[in-house]
Copies of this chain bind each other. A is one copy, B any other.
Amino acid sequence: MLKDRIHQWLQANREDAILFLEKLVRFPSTQGNEASIQQLIASKFKEIGLEVESWELDGNQLKEHPSFFSNREMFEGSPNVVGLLKGTGGGPSIVLNGHVDVVPAGDGTQWENSPYEANIIDGKMYGRGTTDMKGGNLSLYLAIEAIQQLNIKLKGDVILHSVVEEESGGAGTLAAIMKGYTADAAIIPEPTDMKIFPKQQGSKWFRIHVKGRSAHGGTRYHGVSAIEKAGLVVNHILALEKIRNERIDDPLYRSIPIPVPINVGRIEGGDWPSSVADLVKLEGRIGIAPSETIEEVQAELAEWLERLGAIDEWFIDHPVVLEWYGAQWLPGSIDLDHPLMKIVEEKFFDVTGINATVEASPWGTDGGLLTQVGDTPSIVFGPGKSSMAHFPNEYIELDEIFKAAEIIALTVIEWCGLDDRD
């Protein structure tokens, strides 16, 4: 039986696969530093027997696209890799999409081991990028490698995206779409904790300039602290987050504490300890529900910030300045009764013996671009806890990677169609 053969192949190749994941995690592949890991992945794809294309993103071409968002326009050191497994014809095609970029490791002292050591303890591998999403990527490679090594022939094409820039707006996936690497549907194994996410939250980065008035710190009563005012702005944003989330009644979000969070992730301001700070910059990301457009959300935040004057008169004459910059992720969704949904749910049950949880994703993925720009409806489903993503001591449970690989392999075979002519 196909399922057993795949299961056994995965068991037999488990040790090698884990060693390969170690290698992947040991690349500190933050934005701009993805070239070496992509080289390794391109070799892997060739070894599996895929047709491989690798190219550096073309900022000049990308920036003309209305869905291009990034904090940079030059992409040296950030190549995309695509591996193509041509089908024998007559079956639907599928994109399997994973990103190799990782967010920075943050305050190193909060990590018990070095973020790029890939230690394994009690069946978990630790390291930046283990769960987001090198573990999920490994599930994809294993699924396709199993299909190839077991000599399973598919009718439809499988297109493996190994992309950059997911963490900063999706320019990697956009570039793959612009090269024509789209399909009839897609799976993205971001860390969903093995839940199935037919809807993906979008998000957009913002920057808020909060003004104060400088003065000598010793006579700070002559100035106005932009740091104190920034505290008010942060609280005001939290109040908007509350209102926006109370409004959401999609049952897919019912078990998520804050369905569409607003995160203020960076703060910087003032230029001298003994001067009153006259400017503080806040940088963050606002979540966009699958039912919303980015434009609606932008307007709502802008309008909300205009109300700051009611909280503190200072803002009447010194309004904050809202800027949209850097990254955005389009929200995405696939019909709950889309055939691929049915297949993934069924294969999940076949492999695990339990029913999958179907939810909406708490974060943006490249699924929005694939759906809205690439016309490729996408499901996000993968191993690893999203609660560990962007976290110190990020880890992934290794068992889940192999379960996901099995589910994805079976899904791909059923979706693309088995060509069992001899």
Segment from A58-66, A136-144, A155-163, A282-290 that makes contact with B: A282-290
Question: What CA separation (Å) do A110 and B224 show in the bound complex?
Answer: 13
Contact in complex: A285, B267 (CB < 8 Å): no
Contact in complex: B278, A107 (CB < 8 Å): yes
Q: Which residue of B lies closest to A31 (CB)?
A: B272
Give every chain B residue within 8 A of A272 (Cβ-Cβ): 103-104, 167, 265-266, 390
A358 within 8 A of B: no
Question: What CA separation (Å) do A207 and B274 show in the bound complex?
Answer: 12
Contact in complex: A219, B387 (CB < 8 Å): yes
Name the interface residues of A151-196: CB closer than 8 Å to any CB of B: 167
Contact in complex: B222, A201 (CB < 8 Å): no
From known contacts A267-B269, A270-B267, A279-B107, infer whether A287 and B362 are also in contact, taking CB-CB under 8 Å. no
Mark A366-393 against chain B: 1 for CB-CB distance below 8 A, else 0. 0000000000000000000011011110
Name the interface residues of A220-279: CB closer than 8 Å to any CB of B: 220-223, 225, 227-228, 230-231, 234-235, 238, 257-258, 261, 263-279
Contact in complex: A106, B217 (CB < 8 Å): no
A213 within 8 A of B: yes
From known contacts A273-B266, A327-B274, infer whether A132 and B216 are also in contact, taking CB-CB under 8 Å. yes
Question: What CA separation (Å) do A392 and B107 show in the bound complex?
Answer: 35
Interface residues on A, range: 35 or more
Rounded to whole Å, the gap between the CB of A364 and the closest CB of chain B is 7
Contact in complex: B258, A106 (CB < 8 Å): no
A68 within 8 A of B: no
From known contacts A267-B230, A278-B392, A362-B218, infer whether A110 and B213 are also in contact, taking CB-CB under 8 Å. yes
Rounded to whole Å, the gap between the CB of A112 and the closest CB of chain B is 13
Q: Which residue of B lies closest to A205 (CB)?
A: B273
From known contacts A107-B279, A230-B267, A278-B110, infer whether A285 and B390 are also in contact, taking CB-CB under 8 Å. no
A280 within 8 A of B: yes
Give every chain B residue within 8 A of A104 (Cβ-Cβ): 271-272
A214 within 8 A of B: yes
A326 within 8 A of B: yes
A203 within 8 A of B: yes
Contact in complex: B263, A266 (CB < 8 Å): no
From known contacts A274-B265, A276-B265, infer whether A284 and B217 are also in contact, taking CB-CB under 8 Å. yes
Query: Which of A221, A270, A287, A327 has the most C-beta atoms of chain B within 10 angstroms of its own C-beta?
Result: A270
Give every chain B residue within 8 A of A225 (Cβ-Cβ): 263-264
From known contacts A216-B391, A218-B363, A387-B219, infer whether A265 and B275 are also in contact, taking CB-CB under 8 Å. yes
Q: Which residue of B lies closest to A132 (CB)?
A: B216
Question: What CA separation (Å) do A362 and B216 show in the bound complex?
Answer: 9
Question: What CA separation (Å) do A255 and B247 show in the bound complex?
Answer: 52
From known contacts A258-B221, A267-B269, A271-B106, infer whether A392 and B214 are also in contact, taking CB-CB under 8 Å. yes
Contact in complex: B279, A217 (CB < 8 Å): no
Give every chain B residue within 8 A of A279 (Cβ-Cβ): 106-107
Rounded to whole Å, the gap between the CB of A94 and the closest CB of chain B is 25
Question: What CA separation (Å) do A110 and B279 show in the bound complex?
Answer: 10
Contact in complex: B267, A215 (CB < 8 Å): no
Give every chain B residue within 8 A of A220 (Cβ-Cβ): 258, 261, 263
Question: What CA separation (Å) do A104 and B276 show in the bound complex?
Answer: 12
Rounded to whole Å, the gap between the CB of A277 and the closest CB of chain B is 6
Known: A217-B284, A221-B258. 7 other contacts (CB 8 A): A107-B278, A110-B213, A203-B274, A215-B390, A217-B285, A225-B263, A263-B275
Q: List 8 A-B contacts (CB under 8 A).
A: A106-B275, A216-B389, A219-B389, A220-B261, A221-B257, A221-B261, A265-B277, A267-B280
Closest 6 CB pairs of A and B: A218-B363, A217-B263, A231-B231, A274-B285, A266-B270, A216-B390
A residues at B contact (CB < 8 Å): 103-104, 106-107, 110, 132, 167, 201, 203, 205-207, 211, 213-223, 225, 227-228, 230-231, 234-235, 238, 257-258, 261, 263-280, 282-285, 287, 326-327, 361-364, 386-387, 389-392
